[in-house]
Structure 1
Amino acid sequence: MIEKILHMPLQPYREAAYALRVIQTRGRHTGQPRRTPIAVVQLSGEHYLVAPNRQRQWVKNLLASGECHVHGEERGPSRTLLVEGEEAARVIRTYLSVLDLPFATEAFPFGAGDSLETIVPHTVRTAVFRLEPAEGTGETAFDPAVEV
């Protein structure tokens, strides 16, 4: 799937929709670059990554490093901020309403039609990361020597 996404035309971001991307993180134990295919959700002009739980390897890598590189982003590395509560619930509900992949949507203990009040308590176990431009010139998860 990674190669397919990398070789297809870059999908534009659209409000309340997703665009397929590949993220590159730094392995939390090895420090090696790790690539993951992912749907980036745009909501209220912000970009988000979503996972049904915090046990996924890419999620653990983001929790450890706090940043990633999104293939196709010209702005460089992104800082990843874990969000919970109503912000996360709105993103998850949008994600579930537009993603037509049962294997992905069925991993959540609720559905797109559920209320924010139903989803909010689960956001302490799900993973929703808001992407923001990385600040400073420190070491990043993106290594330009690694072909993304």
Structure 2
Amino acid sequence: MNAAALPAGVERVSRIPYRLLSWGVPMGPLTLLRTQGRRTGLPRTVPVVTLRHADLDWLVSPFGATQWVRNIRANGRAELGRGHWFRTVGLVEVDGETKLDVLHRYRRAFGFIPFVRHAFDATPGDGPSGFRTEADRHPVFLLQPRG
């Protein structure tokens, strides 16, 4: 099973926030996600957007089962942060109505970003149930603090 291919230009554009976040520059909901490579065991770091909803933090992969998603599925934990400050988190993949609600909120909150807007067929006006047909394409993880 191959990981999802990122849309053209996403990797190139993500270098800028990656660099700024690695220097410790705050960038709103953008943060660095550091996972352990499932085959190599080496650290892999990518910029991601965290969503705060219902007093919980969520990670959504708008581009499907990317490498970071596959690493999390293999390990269940990661680190989030910027600069030299990272915190360890557990990640639990969610399904069902909760997933639909999170996808709806994510698309509504970050739809102004062209890559996010184009990754979804459903729109905020469709409500959470409008995301049912594409829910399998967008993994959603609940973040849980770990010590």
Q: How does 1:111-122 map to 2 (within 5 A)?
A: 111-122=123-134
C-alpha distance in 2, partners of 1:8/1:110? 34
The TM-score normalised by the length of structure 2 is: 0.77
C-alpha distance in 2, partners of 1:58/1:27? 8
- Percent identity for Structure 1 against Structure 2: 27
The TM-score normalised by the length of structure 1 is: 0.76
C-alpha distance in 2, partners of 1:130/1:20? 16
- 1:60 equivalent to 2:70? Answer yes
Q: Which has the higher helix share?
A: 2
| Range 93-102 or range 37-46, more displaced | 93-102
Match of 2:44 in 1: 34
* Alpha carbons of structure 1 residues 3 and 25: separation in structure 2 relative to 1, 3 Å: same
- 1:105 equivalent to 2:117? Answer yes
C-alpha distance in 2, partners of 1:9/1:3? 9
Gaps of 5+ in 1: 13-18, 136-148
* Alpha carbons of structure 1 residues 117 and 48: separation in structure 2 relative to 1, 3 Å: same
Question: Deviation above 6 Å: which 4+ runs of structure 1?
Answer: none
C-alpha distance in 1, partners of 2:22/2:123? 30
Deviation at 1:9? 4.1
- 1:12-61 per-position Cα deviation (integer Å, ceiling 9, x unaligned): 6xxxxxx1100100011111000010110000110001013532111111
SS at 2:126 equivalent: coil
- 1:74-127 per-position Cα deviation (integer Å, ceiling 9, x unaligned): 783111000112111111111111212111221123122212222134323321
C-alpha distance in 1, partners of 2:31/2:25? 11
Deviation at 1:5? 2.3
Gaps of 5+ in 2: 1-16
C-alpha distance in 2, partners of 1:22/1:43? 19
Q: How many residues align?
A: 129
Q: 1:6 aligns with which of 22, 25, 30?
A: 22
Amino acid at match of 1:122: E
RMSD: 2.2
SS at 1:118 equivalent: helix
Query: Is the contact made by 2:80 and 2:86 (CA closer than 8 Å) also made in structure 1?
Result: no
Query: Is the contact made by 1:68 and 1:78 (CA closer than 8 Å) also made in structure 2?
Result: yes
Deviation at 1:8? 5.1
